[in-house]
Amino acid sequence: MRLTEPDQESAVSVQLDTQPEAGPSSVAGSSNGYNGSTAKQNGYSNSYTNGHSKASPTDATNGGGRLETQTTSITKVSLPGSTLYDDSYVDREEFVRLIIQSLRDVGYIESAATLEAESGYTMESPEVAEFRRCILDADWARANAALMRLGVADDERLWEAKFLISQQKYLELLEANKITTALHVLRNELAPMNVDPDQLHALSSLMMCSDPEDLRQRAGWDGASGHSRRRLLGNLQRYIPSSVMIPQRRFATLLDQARAYQQSLCLYHNAPSNSRTFSLYTDHLCDKNAFPRVTTAILEVHTDEVWNLEWSHSGNFLASASKDKTAIIWRVEHDKDPSIRDISPQFILRDHPYPVGCVAWSLDDSILLTSAEHFIKLWNTRTGLCVRSLEAHTDVVTALAWLPDGSGFISGGLDRKIILWDADGKQRDSWGQSPIRVTDLTVTPDFTRLVAVGMYDVPASGPGVTATPENGNQSGAGRSAENRVIVYDLLTKQPQLFIPVDGELTSVEVSDDSRYALINRAPEANAPCEIHLWDLESERVARRYLGHKQSKHVIRSCFGGVDGTFVASGSEDAIVYIWHRDTGTLLEALPGHGPGSVNSVAWNPQNERMFASCSDDHTIRIWEAPPTNIMGVPDAEEHSRQAHEADGKGKGKSRERWDGQATGTSYGLGSSSGSTLL
């Protein structure tokens, strides 16, 4: 019916081109409401187009319907060839039909009809329209008949489609309380269709339902008046060839694919995916200047090498571990502008007998764990006091990881022990002797796995080791300690995977989707060192990242950015390296730290444009995107400013950094107000 309705003529163009042009033309479809107001325009254009309308009106327009004798038919534009443009691959018919579908979906019915008239393509043939209407009006018999004519691929699929129709019919009859008819349907239509008997039993049991609400709930069906018919239509479309009946919202699907593709090409993409940065007019590309590349703060309180650091889960605090036997909790107001921000040491946790190797925040940030040699200490982060000191390990504790539910934590050490503790420091469980001396471990966020890396060697005593001993380990000076990745199942504590790796493995991190593990590897000889991205599901290396240097020291890396799209790592050449995770391209190599290794990098979990790095030069640097109010285009080496610690007022000396030479201004320890120091 839509096709035969004569609607407004299309004003092909108001300019006085003489012919309706083939090619991209704008169809000005005005809605019915404007009929009266365009009377004037009618008169004008009528006389114009009348002279040009072809003698044979399309089936779309016929004289009837309108009183105005000046209603013209919409001229069908016939174009040569079948592609959209002369040199494109897009088939014109497909394209136009998709546009018609989109216009109809949005609500521009008149435009859609005009387009159909002008192009001669119909979005769907009358049979399909009939079928659609029958389903939505629950005219089952005719729906079935229409289905037969739609060209379903083979008989079996035809049966399945019919079954779905009959099922909906049955459910609607039950809902309307026409039990006998429903029974009739069940017996004569559903049963002979040879379906799964369980399904049939389930359907027949629905007859026991006393009222429609119960029926709806038990069947998981939302009633004849709900969306079930539309959903049925959607399901039935799977059986009908898509050229006959176009899948719903097809154009939008294609555009979504384009968006995903552009996003995958955008290397610096660091924005949440539903932001307004995507436009159809231009390809999406994130600005490199929105990426953290510039040091905005240098924290210089430690008196010796800083070995490790970790952000609190709220993103407001940073804990650092240092060789000077202290750990410091810094307060970082990450959501303020760098020039007015206050970064200061909140607590200095002394009282460690040895250099501090690891720090770990509890999930609610109330407890900080620190490890020094074989001691583990629990600190209350509000008061800065040590709550407990745990001494269960016999050798260096190299890794601390909280469980994703915060109920406890796991510690692993070079003494081959992995121990599970309660949140208050009671030993809950010991995982026994691990075959490796653990150098790092982490728990996957989905709570299923524990990934541990470490040195593997057969202890000289032999028995009591759970893993199969390797031969060839008895080399003279013990230099070829093989390293392994072991993935344990968290619940059963059984090792799932042993992966022997060449070279020394120094750190492991797991992505947020629990699927990938990032492992730093220092090779034995002068081979280039790599960071491996292991896919835990398929148990292979998914990607390697090259460029940094690592041979003797423990260097750590981390995921970063929105969705963990970046990989950042420290390195022994004082440069922070950042790669794009999916493609492996090196995005940034950021110099600036003083001589010595950059030991660890940590990305702020609440601010995707900020990360921190710590180094042997006793400092921690905060890196951010270049502030936009800086003159000119900021360069990483020239314009890094630091936020000076204020005792609430005034800045002290601020200094420009030129090429990474530290000029010794430290944050005023004694003069800071408002921060309690131990």
Partner 1 sequence: MGMSYRRYLNGARIYGCSSCKTHLATIHSMISRAFHGQHGRAYLFDGVVNVIEGEPNDRVMTTGNHTVRDIYCCKCGQTLGWKYVGFLPSTVLTSSSAYDRGGVQDRAYEASQKYKEGKFILERNLLVDVQ
Encoded tokens for 437 = 């001396």
Task: In the chain, count H helices and then E strands.
Answer: 11, 28
Q: How many other CB atoms are there within 10 angstroms of residue 620's CB atom?
A: 26
Quick one: 195 or 455, whose CB is closer to partner 1? 455
377-380 long-range contacts (CB < 8 A, ≥24 apart) are 377/349, 377/351, 377/352, 378/424, 378/425, 379/327, 379/347, 379/349
Closest contact distance (angstroms) between CB of 467 and partner 1 is: 14
Quick one: 587 or 602, whose CB is closer to partner 1? 602
Q: How many other CB atoms are there within 10 angstroms of residue 306's CB atom?
A: 29
**How far apart (Å, rounded) are the C-alpha atoms in residues 241 and 75?**
30
Cα–Cα nearest to 508, from 401, 646, 664:
401
How many CA atoms lie within 13 Å of 502's alpha carbon, on the beta-carbon side? 8
Quick one: 416 or 639, whose CB is closer to partner 1? 416
Quick one: 58 or 320, whose CB is closer to partner 1? 320
Quick one: 328 or 423, whose CB is closer to partner 1? 328
**How far apart (Å, rounded) are the C-alpha atoms in residues 460 and 457?**
9
Question: How far separated are the first and last CA of the chain, in Å rounded?
Answer: 83
Residues at the contact surface with partner 1, assessed by CB under 8 A? 305, 307-308, 323, 355, 357, 396, 398, 414, 437, 439, 455, 457-461, 473-474, 476-479, 481, 552-555, 572, 596-597, 599, 616
Closest contact distance (angstroms) between CB of 412 and partner 1 is: 12
Cα–Cα nearest to 296, from 238, 244, 337, 346:
337
Closest contact distance (angstroms) between CB of 597 and partner 1 is: 4
Closest contact distance (angstroms) between CB of 411 and partner 1 is: 15
Quick one: 396 or 587, whose CB is closer to partner 1? 396
- Tokens 């709930």, residue located: 217
Q: Looking at 261-316, which runs of residues are DSSP E strands?
A: 294-299, 306-311
- Tokens 């950059």, residue located: 598
- Tokens 């609610």, residue located: 364
Rg (CA), the chain: 35
Closest contact distance (angstroms) between CB of 492 and partner 1 is: 28
Closest contact distance (angstroms) between CB of 404 and partner 1 is: 27
If you count them, how many residues does the chain have?
678
Closest contact distance (angstroms) between CB of 321 and partner 1 is: 9
Quick one: 411 or 514, whose CB is closer to partner 1? 411
Quick one: 103 or 401, whose CB is closer to partner 1? 401
**How far apart (Å, rounded) are the C-alpha atoms in residues 360 and 292?**
24
Closest contact distance (angstroms) between CB of 102 and partner 1 is: 59
**Cα torsion angle, 376, 508, 592, 314, sign:** negative
Quick one: 353 or 528, whose CB is closer to partner 1? 353
DSSP string computed for 154-192: SHHHHHHHHHHHHHHHHHHHHHTT-HHHHHHHIIIIIGG
Closest contact distance (angstroms) between CB of 490 and partner 1 is: 25
Quick one: 608 or 616, whose CB is closer to partner 1? 616
Quick one: 489 or 502, whose CB is closer to partner 1? 502
Quick one: 49 or 550, whose CB is closer to partner 1? 550
Is the distance from CB of 561 to CB of 270 less than 8 angstroms? yes
Closest contact distance (angstroms) between CB of 465 and partner 1 is: 12
Reduced DSSP (H G I as helix, E B as strand, rest coil) percent helix, strand, coil of the chain, to 5: 25, 25, 50
Cα distances from 105 to residues 5, 131, 147, 383, 450, in angstroms, run: 19, 18, 23, 60, 49
Quick one: 146 or 306, whose CB is closer to partner 1? 306
Closest contact distance (angstroms) between CB of 491 and partner 1 is: 30
Closest contact distance (angstroms) between CB of 432 and partner 1 is: 18
Quick one: 437 or 449, whose CB is closer to partner 1? 437
Give burial (CB, 10 Å; 0-12/13-18/19+) of 346: buried
Closest contact distance (angstroms) between CB of 476 and partner 1 is: 4
Encoded tokens for 328 = 């410091």
361-366 long-range contacts (CB < 8 A, ≥24 apart) are 361/310, 361/311, 361/312, 361/313, 361/317, 361/319, 361/402, 362/402, 362/406, 362/409, 362/423, 363/313, 363/402, 363/404, 363/405, 363/406, 364/313, 364/406, 365/312, 365/313, 365/314, 365/317
Q: What is the largest CA-CA distance in the chain?
A: 106
Cα distances from 343 to residues 44, 61, 643, in angstroms, run: 72, 74, 7
Quick one: 104 or 323, whose CB is closer to partner 1? 323
Quick one: 570 or 626, whose CB is closer to partner 1? 570
Closest contact distance (angstroms) between CB of 455 and partner 1 is: 6
How many CA atoms lie within 13 Å of 460's alpha carbon, on the beta-carbon side? 3
**How far apart (Å, rounded) are the C-alpha atoms in residues 309 and 619?**
11
Quick one: 146 or 620, whose CB is closer to partner 1? 620
Closest contact distance (angstroms) between CB of 570 and partner 1 is: 9
Is the distance from CB of 224 to CB of 138 less than 8 angstroms? yes
Q: For residue 536, which phi and psi values (nearest 5 degrees)?
A: -75, -25
Closest contact distance (angstroms) between CB of 550 and partner 1 is: 10
Q: How many other CB atoms are there within 10 angstroms of residue 195's CB atom?
A: 15
Closest contact distance (angstroms) between CB of 256 and partner 1 is: 46
